[in-house]
Amino acid sequence: MPLIELVVLAAIWGSSFLFLRICAPQLGPVPLIALRVGIAALVLLPALRRAELRAQLRQAWRQLAVVGLFNSALPFSLFAYGALHLGAGLESILNATTPLWTALIGALWFGSPISRAQGGGLVLGFAGVLILVGEHAAGSLPGAVLAAAPALLGPVSYGFAAQYARRHVGQRDPMLIAFASQAFAALLLVAPGAALWPNHAVSGPIWAAVATLAVLGTGVAYVLYFRLVVRVGAAYAASVTFLIPVFGMLWGRLFLHEQVSASMILGCAVILAGTALAGGQWRRLGVRPRRAA
């Protein structure tokens, strides 16, 4: 059932922030993400068995490399840096601002029209971010304010990638985009990942967590996501955004004993409400915001 697959996908992607929190302090952000995208590319490599996809890769490799940078290499690394200070639950909530940045970048950079309701959604969503960051600015988590910067730049990168891909590679096969984004990200990160490789030995449990993050949280998750896109449409698949923070907070609480504060719940609710407006999900669900008189 699509609903079950959607929940499973949200649970998998929500766990990614848990694994970032576990692995980034041990491996370092860049080496961790180099491993993540490299292994994920190998998982997705069978997509190139089709001659048609190999031809598309040759034709659009430059555009796909840009997508790889802004949809994988850069945002994954930024979230990994954020995980050095921020909890898995908080990062998963900040990740939910991606549709807000997508709408804003589309309006400011790509000339996409933005409705009054979408504009209200942007204001509401960013108010939710202020609620989250404001709590930690009061000193409840050392270094959280600085760490929130890369964790917020990650969704900005996702937003640019979404707008760029829509215009330059939107006609390409989705599985090709999934593979190429990981493969080009791996090429971009292999040298800095090797240069920043940790000097200490890495334990077996950390390697297991890295493998799970790469295989399940990236490779399998992309396959599941595009399966939903094909079966029930992109709008339905994109609604996974609303479930990821739930699982991000849940896994962080269960496995890392993170606190789920009232401001986190409130900020999450405000961000998701703004995301629904900015991304047009309320209209798809039959909820029409009242027009101003």
In the numeric block, the tokens 């576990």 are attached to 22
The alpha helices in the chain, defined as continuous H runs, are: 2-27, 29-44, 51-59, 61-68, 74-82, 88-95, 98-108, 116-135, 144-168, 174-195, 204-214, 221-232, 234-238, 244-256, 262-279, 281-284
* Number of folded domains that form the chain: 1
289 located within any domain? no
Kindly report the pTM of this predicted structure. Answer: 0.90
Q: How many CB atoms lie within 10 A of CB 63?
A: 17
Q: What is 69-124 written as a DSSP string?
A: IIIIIHHHHHHHHHTTTS-HHHHHHHHTTHHHHHHHHHHHTS-----HHHHHHHHH
What's at 109, amino acid-wise? W
Give domain status of residue 290, yes or no: no
CA-to-CA distance for 72 and 250, rounded, in angstroms? Answer: 24
The domain in which residue 59 lies consists of: 2-282
One pLDDT digit (tens) per residue for the chain, 293 residues: 788 999 999 999 999 999 999 999 999 999 999 999 999 999 999 999 999 999 999 999 999 999 999 999 999 999 999 999 889 999 999 999 998 898 889 888 888 888 888 888 888 988 988 887 766 555 545 555 666 789 889 999 999 999 999 899 988 898 999 999 999 999 999 999 999 999 999 999 999 999 999 999 999 999 999 888 878 877 788 888 889 999 999 999 999 999 998 888 999 999 999 888 876 655 444 433 333 34
Nearest to 182 by CA among 219, 210, 209: 219
